[in-house]
Structure 1
């Protein structure tokens, strides 16, 4: 690692999160959702997941599955997107579980001679992937359940909402049960509907024995906090009445604490004194109205550090300083004081700077913020306060 701009990943926090998840749930199958480079954390975290209760992995594409299979030979991997028919042999040879989500794909799949594990995807309301016709679902079930070379291992759907302040979640559960009413779910080995938040914000669905863990593993959940101010209590009363009026199923926050794994760091590589009337960065950069001390950081939008970060605070030596000017491809300007020196470590988020502060400032989500961090940035993995891996 030559440029000291890197991601720090705390594996002890991942262990803690998974320990809490396992203690507070009762499933047979825990899918670790590791798509998009494990939500930006890097695939090395999979080792810790498998050591702490995760027993199935879920990825977005066959490319991701094959990359993970290089290091993790035995764990089953579910590919959440349809795999091209001509690539089924690759799935057979590498123990990759596939999905079937429409009748045209099924009609091609049923002709294969490869031995495969398959999960049926149900579209319960997201209108993305999945079956919406229960007669088609019955047809697929009936043919796959008796197919010698294809194991109908699972069935699942994906929720569009956490179901805290709307009826989407409960309506999708109802729709799933309606769409599968012509088949015997008891004959399917794994039924996994819930994702990180729905599985813990609501009571467990009695017919499910699997759950897909995403953000909750990485230390993030998003439940509206209780605020004790007058305005907060008024908002809480409004939400209560709204839920009652619309017959929204009861929900609850998790009763355990989570710890984010990931923090983003760099260093100060230069200190500049900028005088009134001088401009900052590329034309037409801002003109400085009074003398300022500027620190230059070796990170920019090519690293997934959006230009929209301008104006927010970062941390140097436990003190907060503001990003100013236009963020460049590989460099960023920060207004500092005389206490800051070349070589000082900078925390862009993590420690005192919560990731949600970044996402609120730039107008994005935690999902997008994590997934768009450049995979080229080194990931430094810590366990018991010691570096165990850098890649």
Structure 2
């Protein structure tokens, strides 16, 4: 998709704030290493730009992505830190993993036992399934067999032994119980296997925030992802700790492209689902569901000159209409996510309104929205500002 550099809808991304957050999370958890999770293009913020900022400041020790193509993008951009691909992967691209020094995830004993001969060193991460039930080892004997295979194969280098908690961002009694069960399961499966504890990686964003003092959790290498954005990754189900000082990293803006006087009772947008409640002004802005501002956001609001203005009518593919309190000049800025004066619309608010989570809101914001990078680091790393 072409980035619409000439279209007045944009996302502002503060690289200094993102780096601060990563450093603050490390301090909060007392982690030895930080593996910054930059999958889905850095949760929509720009994986390459974030990675360059984190490498420049030594805020990250490695990068974690979801697939090989994301990893190769970072390598081609000149990133030299370790890069780890999560998820199961077949054997067809092993040469690319080896040649580009990219860590592959081992999902099962069967995968490891049938591994083809390697022409170089393959770095691997051992997935442990403690209850997520996606991929990974869930049998202690098979983990022991895997460890022996790794230790006897000079072409294999163990990068990490990790697990993922399914309910670390939930406050319910059921979720707390399930988190405890996963922590116990880790102890049963891994702790007595003789692995170097420095290789353990157990804490994702939510585990890093709300379980940072749990003695059962290793913080040898944490994996913050969505948390880098400074949002509440539980969607507000759990309160953010008062002493964890994170900054908001991104905001989304547009401009008024058309302003017109509309009489009371006039239907608006597709389906004529709403009519103008009174005589007044309506603005059209160049953003819609193809930008990630989904149709279910009808009835929500944007901020114009420090005041909330309601979205009227169905959100269309490329345009959205807003009821104004007065006539504003074309080109007036509207805030979709962010702060303007005393008013603020957070990603969490948008997620609540959409009946979803902040991850979906942030990663759904389309590539055609230009990203404008701010902060000192944007100048240092030469981030593209659209």
Give unpaired runs (5+ residues) of structure 1.
227-251
Which residue of the partner structure matches residue 225 of structure 2?
214
Give the match's secondary structure for 1:167: helix
CA contact 2:91–2:116 (8 Å) conserved in 1: no
Give the match's secondary structure for 2:29: coil
Q: Deviations over 1:72-124 (max 9, x none)?
A: 33111000012220100000111110010112221222643431011100000
Closer, same or farther in 2 for the Cα pair 1:5/1:207, shift >3 Å?
closer
Give unpaired runs (5+ residues) of structure 2.
none
Whole-angstrom CA distance in 1 between matches of 2:225 and 2:231:
9
> What is the Cα deviation at residue 309 of structure 1?
1.1
Whole-angstrom CA distance in 2 between matches of 1:120 and 1:15:
28
Q: Does 1:390 align with 2:382?
A: no
Once the two structures are overlaid, the 10-residue window that deviates more, 342-351 or 169-178, is: 169-178
Which residue of the partner structure matches residue 234 of structure 1?
none
Which residue of the partner structure matches residue 21 of structure 1?
25
Q: Does 1:290 align with 2:278?
A: yes
Q: How does 1:69-80 map to 2 (within 5 A)?
A: 69-80=75-86
Whole-angstrom CA distance in 1 between matches of 2:126 and 2:238:
36
CA contact 2:25–2:208 (8 Å) conserved in 1: no
> What is the Cα deviation at residue 254 of structure 1?
5.8
Q: How does 1:82-121 map to 2 (within 5 A)?
A: 82-109=88-115, 111-121=117-127
Which residue of the partner structure matches residue 185 of structure 1?
195
Which residue of the partner structure matches residue 198 of structure 1?
207
Structure with the bigger RCO (C-alpha within 8 Å, sep 6+) is 2
> What is the Cα deviation at residue 147 of structure 1?
1.0
Whole-angstrom CA distance in 1 between matches of 2:62 and 2:214:
19
- Taking structure 1 as the reference length, the TM-score comes to 0.87
Which residue of the partner structure matches residue 239 of structure 1?
none
2:241 to 242, 246, 253: 253
Q: How does 1:308-327 map to 2 (within 5 A)?
A: 308-327=296-315
Which residue of the partner structure matches residue 133 of structure 1?
139
1:48 to 53, 63, 66: 53
Whole-angstrom CA distance in 1 between matches of 2:110 and 2:119:
18
Tell me how many residue pairs correspond in the alignment: 365
Q: Does 1:346 align with 2:341?
A: no
Q: CA RMSD in A?
A: 2.2
